[in-house]
Amino acid sequence: MKILSMSTATNNLSVALNDDSKIIAEKNEYDARNHSSHLDPLIDQILKEHNLKLAEIDRFAVAIGPGSYTGLRIGVTTVKMFASILHKDVVGISTLQALAASCAEEGTLIVAGIDARNDNYFAGAYINKENDWGPECVIPDGHYHIDTLLSAVAEYCADNNLENVIYVGSGFEKQEETIKKTNISFSFGTEKQNVVHAGLIGKLALNAQPDDPDQLLPNYLRRTQAEIDWHNKTGEAYKPDSNYVEEV
Amino acid sequence: MVNKKDIRILAFESSCDETSASVVKNGREIESLIVATQIKSHQRFGGVVPEVASRHHIEVITQITNEALKEAHVAWKDIDAIAVTYGPGLVGALLIGVSAAKAASMATGIPLIGVDHIMGHIMAAQLKEEIAYPALALQVSGGHTEIVLLKDPTHLEIVGDTRDDAAGEAYDKIGRVLGVNYPAGKTIDEWAQKGKDTFEFPRAMIKEDDYDFSFSGLKSAFINTYHHAEQIHQNLNKYDLAASFQAAVIDVLATKTIRAIKQYAPKTFIMGGGVAANHGLRERMNHEIANLPRNLQPKVILPELKLCGDNAAMIGAAAYNLYQEGKFADLTLDADPSLELPYASEMLQ
Ligand SMILES: [Zn+2]
């Protein structure tokens, strides 16, 4: 199965071609500032270099979130359209699972996170088990304050007799002093591990359940501030988004 | 004209709070038009929240694309170009349309055309009647108030614009004071029909001999009058307030536009944008133009009411003109939130 995968979730723009479980090619633009302009040309380039047409791709995969809201929408819109038009599979993969998949360590808790500023993180924890489809989520992806995240990590390690934690992603180094207080031995991901790789998204996508392109949406992990303020002010319940959009 | 092939364009529009897709034939004929509006959502906040808008756009983008094709009874192979609004507008919102159009272009091999949203509004007129050039357009919406000279179908120049608030923005702001739900234009227009111009609000810049506008003074005068009355527990007639506000807006728009028509002697006069649906403004412009000397009377095209608001059909109309000129975009096309039509050289002096 030929899989084209991409991540526009962080400032690393990544595109990859996989054939079953093998990564054939991966292109990265580190610290890219303009995913909108660069994504399609990068896809075009990787396909041309491997003599493939978009229509020959069997499955499209994308980092579904968390990540930059605008960035996520660029990638998700792109694969939604590809899959919808070409009648192919589409799969959304957790950005955090993809980060965790860059760590091969076993018996180690892998905490994957994206800096959400003010000591908050979009984060989740994963563990490599004996399977061929990738790290398994043990602390769900969410929007956590660093203190909340670290107590969940400490609790999980205590309950499961884990003695090592690896923090991978962005913004964890500045928490070094706080992390030390957990009294669990830890390390940080390498520069390479700390960026999202589309090739790993492709690998995770191989065994994932395909989504309906119409239903595939970014996993923001947070409501907009306007909705939170409205909810707090009016006490009204959040309704499904479809209640608010109507064809005229 | 023998066997001239029909040109069919699939167009996208997502610059603000409507997600729209449309199939337009030869820049003139709407074969399908799907508009998903988010007004209900933004009414919770009293105005458009950009992040909420972007989230809604992506929820419906593939569905409206398929519906537009289905309603037009066409398939991708029947489409000659894919068009999309790339600015001006809300960047996150624009990016959904731009990403979708580029992905569609890549998946199908159909060429891509990037369209200026304002050019689209003006070309809504082309969906009603053929435009004779040169033409002059009054473009009035929540974000823009401009007098635009159309030298030909693709060369548009701004000859006057607002120095501060757009006319539609002023409507929304005074609407908020009167407790009218966003968007307020339609209600204020209805109230205005029932009231009289008794407050004599200022007509800013009406005497100046350029084609520029300013609406923030009017907005402030309105709000001060309203709050002053509130403080002294005086009840003002909301219909008269609406009529007075609307009269001030329309006076300035009409006076300046007529002056521009006299100077540029266009063959066609066009109105575009959400405020072009305002009944008071439509009547006034028709009336003023009918009173011009015969040789100065342009043909008047006021777009259909449902095509004054944001929609993809107008983008398809404008894209057809760009198609004829071979003005295509490539895969690097990006959203440009502050895209502007060029200013006429006399504006730059
Ligand atoms: Zn508009």
- For residue range A93-124, what is the model confidence (pLDDT) as tens digits? 999 999 999 999 889 999 999 999 999 999 99
pTM: 0.95
Yes or no, beta carbons of B34 and A247 under 8 Å apart: yes
Which one-letter DSSP state was computed for residue B49?
-
CA nearest A150: which of A114, A190, A116, A120?
A120
Question: Using the beta-carbon criterion (under 8 Å), do B44 and A230 form an inter-chain contact?
Answer: yes
CA of B300 to the centre of ligand 1 (A): 21
Reply yes or no on whether the pLDDT at B64 is more than 50: yes
pLDDT mean over B186-190:
94
Backbone φ and ψ for A129, nearest 5 degrees, come out as -115, 175
Determine, for residues A246 and B37 on separate chains, whether the beta-carbon distance falls below 8 Å: yes
Q: Taking Cα atoms as reference points, which of A22, A192, A11 lies closest to residue A99?
A: A192
Query: What is the CA(A156)–ligand 1 centre distance, in A?
Result: 52
- Please check the confidence at residue B99 and state whether its pLDDT lies above 90: yes
Query: What angle is formed at CA B313 by the lines to CA A40 and CA B301, rounded to 5 degrees?
Result: 140
B333 interaction partners in chain A (CB closer than 8 Å): 37
Pairing between strand B81-87 and B18-25? unpaired
Chain B residues contacting A via beta carbons under 8 Å: 19, 34-38, 40-41, 44-45, 49, 51-52, 54-56, 58-66, 76, 91-92, 95-96, 98-100, 102-104, 106-108, 331-335
* pLDDT confidence bin for B142, thresholds 50/70/90: confident
Contact A244 B40 (CB under 8 A): yes
The residue assigned the tokens 């100065």 is: B296
Task: Map tokens 């968007």 to a residue.
Answer: B183
Tens digits of per-residue pLDDT, A31-84? Answer: 788 999 999 999 999 999 999 999 999 999 999 999 999 999 999 999 999 999
For chain A, the residues whose C-beta falls within 8 A of a C-beta of chain B are: 34, 36-41, 43-44, 54-55, 69-70, 73-74, 76-82, 84-86, 213-214, 217-218, 220, 224-227, 230, 234, 241-248
Distance CA A121, CA B24 (A): 46
For tokens 């040789």, the residue is B295
Nearest to B334 among A37, A214, A242 (CB): A37
Over residues A148-167, the pLDDT tens digits come to 999 999 999 999 999 999 99
Distance CA B190, CA B188 (A): 5
- Buried (b) or exposed (e) across B6-22, using 16+ Cβ within 10 A? ebbbbbbbbbbbbbbbb
Task: Find tokens 């989520």 and name the residue.
Answer: A137
Best CA proximity match to B303, nearest among B90, B107, B85, B140: B140
Residue B307's nearest CA partner among B41, B42, B126 is B126
Average pLDDT estimate for B275-287: 95
CA distance A120 to chain B (A): 20
On average, the pLDDT of chain A sits at 96
Taking 50 as the threshold, does the pLDDT of residue B2 lie above it?
A: no
What is the reported pLDDT for A91?
A: 98
> Which tokens belong to A8?
């526009």
CA A238 to centroid of ligand 1, rounded, Å: 29
**Beta carbons of B40 and A245 less than 8 Å apart:** yes
pLDDT at B204: 86
| Chain B environment of A245 (Cβ under 8 Å) | 19, 36-38, 40-41, 56, 59-60
Q: Are B334 and B101 in contact (CB under 8 A)?
A: no
Tokens of B189: 């227009």
Cβ–Cβ of B62/A81 closer than 8 Å? yes
Contact (Cβ atoms closer than 8 angstroms) between residue B11 and residue B83: yes
- Give the residue-averaged pLDDT of A188-210: 96
The answer to whether B62 contacts A73, with C-beta atoms less than 8 Å apart, is no
Tokens of B200: 């004599």
Judging contacts by C-beta atoms under 8 Å, the chain B residues touching residue A40 are 102-103, 106, 331-332
Q: At what angle do helices B91-108 and A35-49 cross, to 10 degrees?
A: 20
Contacts of B285 (CB under 8 A, 6+ apart): B138, B254, B257, B269, B271, B300, B302
**In this structure, are residues A103 and A193 in contact, taking their beta carbons and an 8 Å threshold?**
yes
Q: Is A169 helix (H, G, I), strand (E, B) or coil?
A: strand
User: Does the pLDDT value for residue B41 go beyond 50?
Assistant: yes
Is the ipTM above a cut-off of 0.90?
Answer: yes
- Asked whether the predicted pLDDT for residue A229 surpasses 50, the reply is yes
Nearest-CB residue to B331 (from A44, A234, A241): A44
Average pLDDT, chain B: 94
Percent pLDDT > 70 in chain B is 98
Question: What integer is the mean pLDDT of A83-87?
Answer: 98
For helices B279-290 and B185-194, the axis angle rounded to 10 degrees is 60
Q: H helices of chain A, where?
A: 35-49, 69-86, 95-100, 146-159, 176-180, 198-206, 225-234
- Chain A and chain B share a number of CB contacts under 8 A equal to 130
CA angle B58, B169, B264 (to 5 degrees): 105
Neighbours of B196 (CB within 10 A): 12
Instruction: Label residue B347 by pLDDT band (50, 70, 90).
Output: low
B187 or B204, which is more confident?
B187
Report CB contact under 8 Å: A226, B102: no
pLDDT at B3 over 60: no
Give φ, ψ of A128 to 5 degrees: -85, 120
pLDDT of residue A159: 97
- 3-class secondary structure, B152: strand
How confident is the model at residue B1, as a pLDDT? 47
Of A144-148, A237-241, B170-174, which one has max mean pLDDT?
Answer: A144-148
CB atoms A77 and B332 under 8 Å:
no
Confidence of residue A131 (pLDDT cuts 50, 70, 90): confident
CA B49 to chain A, closest CA, distance in angstroms equals: 7
Q: Which two tokens stand for residue B114?
A: 């990037």
Chain A positions in Cβ-Cβ contact with residue B96 (cut-off 8 Å): 73, 77
Q: How far apart are CA A198 and CA A42, in angstroms?
A: 12
Distance between CA B349 and CA B328 in Å, rounded? 32
User: How far is A194 from B345, CA to CA, in rounded Å?
Assistant: 52
From the list A39, A84, A217, which residue is nearest B58 (CB)?
A217
Name the residue facing A213 among B41, B51, B62 (closest C-beta).
B62
